[in-house]
Amino acid sequence: MTSPKKRVDPLFVALAVVLVAVAAAVGVVFFQLHSKISALQTGASFTFRYEIAPNSPDKPPLLNILERVNASSGSVSGQYAPGKLQLSFYQLNEDDSVKTSPFTRVYIDSEETLFDIGQLYTVLRQAVTDKLSLASVLLPEWSLGDYISQTQAAAVLGVETNKVELQELSGFALSLKGLKKVSPSAARDGYRYYQFPAAADGTTLVLGFSTDALFSKTTPIHVLLTIPDHNVHIQLTGTVTSAKTVLSPPASRMSDEDIATLAQIRQSVESVWKMIQSAAQTTN
């Protein structure tokens, strides 16, 4: 006598199928995220809109400089190679479009941070002479080496070197190992966020990937970066594309002998700027 066949509950079968499909989908997303991060490890190009805000009322010196040229928010584009970054920063026009020429550039590797002070001075000089044509006589055109080191920048600004160095930014390892899935308060809809292990100085990086574009070559990214040494929180929104990049330190460097000249130029800019502000207040 044969035993009766057990009836399989259709609801149980449907639930099992759903669970298998969900597990497969999660596995595919994880694999794709791993593949994308692995690709970005070897090199990338990117463009972001950025916003920089201080973490306390005491504004850091670099943020003060950015605010002077109306660039505490703007656009940054650049390239990444393992352990190296090249960044170009752009101001925004009144209609929120991006200016065609950068106001400064920064090169970062594990050894040093280099600032394109020549480009920054040129932009500052133009901003001043636009308001006061006579200033072109008081402020000479740039004729020194373009980039200054973090040590030179610290000497000019009168701050400690760790207030201007940024090489910790080159030390993040884009790996799934140690990543923690998080839900930041500034999260965007449709993004999945991961926090990387904090750097030695406490710098924290949270990356948000658009889940709709994980299979695309160019991926929308939302970056939340906090740098305690600089007392700032930086938010970036844009796209990143894996790319083969070769980055080298810039050749045009300012000599230590020219730092005194740079300090004098900075004082001249400050004096002319105060004169412009005084004239504006008198007019009003």
Residue 129 burial (CB count, 10 A): 16
Would you state the pLDDT for residue 18? 40
Top pLDDT among 260 and 89 is at: 89
Phi first, then psi, for residue 261 (nearest 5°) are -65, -40
pTM of the model: 0.72
CA nearest neighbour of 76 among 31, 106, 56, 120: 106
Residue 25 has pLDDT above 70, yes or no: no
C-alpha span between 86 and 78 (Å, rounded): 5
**pLDDT confidence of residue 116:** 92
What is the chain's alpha carbon radius of gyration, rounded to the nearest angstrom? 25
Phi first, then psi: what are they for 4, rounded to 5°? Answer: -65, 140
**54-68, 171-185, 195-209: which has the minimum mean pLDDT?**
171-185
Question: Lowest-confidence range among 20-24, 173-177, 265-269?
Answer: 20-24
Output the pLDDT for position 29.
Answer: 41
Distances (CA, A) of 12 to 8, 16, 19, 23, 72: 8, 6, 11, 16, 57
Residue 124 has pLDDT above 50, yes or no: yes
Q: Distance of CA 36 to CAs 17, 43, 108, 215, Å?
A: 28, 11, 23, 8
Per-residue pLDDT at 198 exceeds 70: yes
| Helices and strands (DSSP H and E) totals, the chain | 6, 11
Spatial separation of the C-alpha atoms in residues 229 and 250, rounded to whole Å = 25
Nearest to 258 by CA among 164, 127, 121, 101: 121
